[in-house]
Amino acid sequence: MQNKRALLISLGVALFAVLMIYSYISQKEKTLLELATPIRVVVAIRDIPEGSKLDENVVEERQVPRKYVQPGAISELSMAVDKTVIVPVLKGTQILESVLMSAGGSLAAKVPTGMRAFSCAVTDVTAAAGLIRPGDFVDVMVTVETGHFQEGKTISDEIMTKTFLENVLVLAVNQTSSKVATIKSAADQQNAPGNIFSKTAQTQEQTINLRTITFALSPEDTQRMNLAHEIGSISVALRSSWDRDQRKNLPSLKAQDFLGIQRSVIPRSIPPWIEIRGAEQRTRY
């Protein structure tokens, strides 16, 4: 009798174990089938440079197992065509919503949250010889002349320079917010007909004719930049890629302190240089 009861218990335990194993295998099979379900995504069929406009010649729709679909992947070709990629895309890479910008899209898509895009007039001399690119980080200085009024005339007291912004992100150079497009624009300028710099003579990074730089600034720094632009001369220093997070918090530098003298420094009344490009003359005071 005891042997029969033990046999029944063993059979019951074995049946329960079989049911548990069957349930586990069924669940795993269902999960694997879901992961293997083909999902349609848009994939690059060749390397796509930054700033390129997408069309049927560079992207296509493919079926990819659900397991390998990246978050934010575009599922229809119509959602990608006529859009511009803001980063380089390698062949075989799925096209993500985060790398696309509508044709003619706004710079606002590249402005970090809580920041403002603010443009400042510069020249090659005041902005690292035109070597600044979108995505670089810079320090911004302002040079001002202080003084007072005497008998209706302005009397200069001193000149000082202040680094008032550090580690500032460059959003755009002139009207280009793509680093690759900026370099291409520089190459087009220097390889134009009549330019003394030939294609074969270019051994270093090509420069562009700077007119404006657009920065990503906090609302408070936007006010400071606007005020500095009105009261003095703006200069921009390119930061090293290795010390982006370092800040010096330098004090204002006065001309007397710089020269080690007590006498007042008279500002220059003539331009330090005059640049002539064709019919255009640029003067820097």
Least confident range of 108-117, 175-184, 225-234, 246-255: 175-184
Q: In Å, how far from its chain's centre is CA 229?
A: 23
Residue, of 74 and 15, whose pLDDT is higher:
74
- Is the Cα torsion angle 61, 181, 116, 141 positive or negative in sign? positive
Say if residue 184 is exposed, middle or buried (CB neighbours under 10 Å; 0-12, 13-18, 19+).
middle
As a whole number, mean pLDDT of residues 46-65 equals 86
CB atoms within 10 A of CB 99: 20
CATH number corresponding to 38-104: 3.90.1210.10
Q: What percent of the chain has pLDDT over 90?
A: 17
Phi, psi values for residue 115, rounded to 5°: -105, 170
- Cα–Cα distance measured from residue 83 to residue 81, given in angstroms and rounded to the nearest whole number: 5
Pairing of strands 116-121, 100-102: unpaired
Contacts of 172 (CB under 8 A, 6+ apart): 107, 117, 119, 134, 213, 214
* Whether residue 201 has pLDDT greater than 90: no
* Whether residue 74 has pLDDT greater than 50: yes
Least confident range of 60-74, 113-127, 145-159, 211-225: 145-159
Instruction: Note the pLDDT tens digit of each residue in 124-166.
Output: 788 888 788 888 899 999 998 887 777 777 777 788 899 999 9
**Token pair in block for residue 117:** 């895009």
State the pLDDT at residue 196: 40
Helical spans, DSSP H, in the chain: 2-36, 179-190, 219-231, 255-259
Residue 199 binned pLDDT confidence (cut-offs 50, 70, 90): very low
SS3 of the chain: helix, strand, coil, percent, to 5? 30, 35, 40
Structural domain boundaries of the chain?
38-104, 108-284
pTM: 0.52
Instruction: Note the pLDDT tens digit of each residue in 181-193.
Output: 554 444 444 444 4
State the pLDDT at residue 276: 54
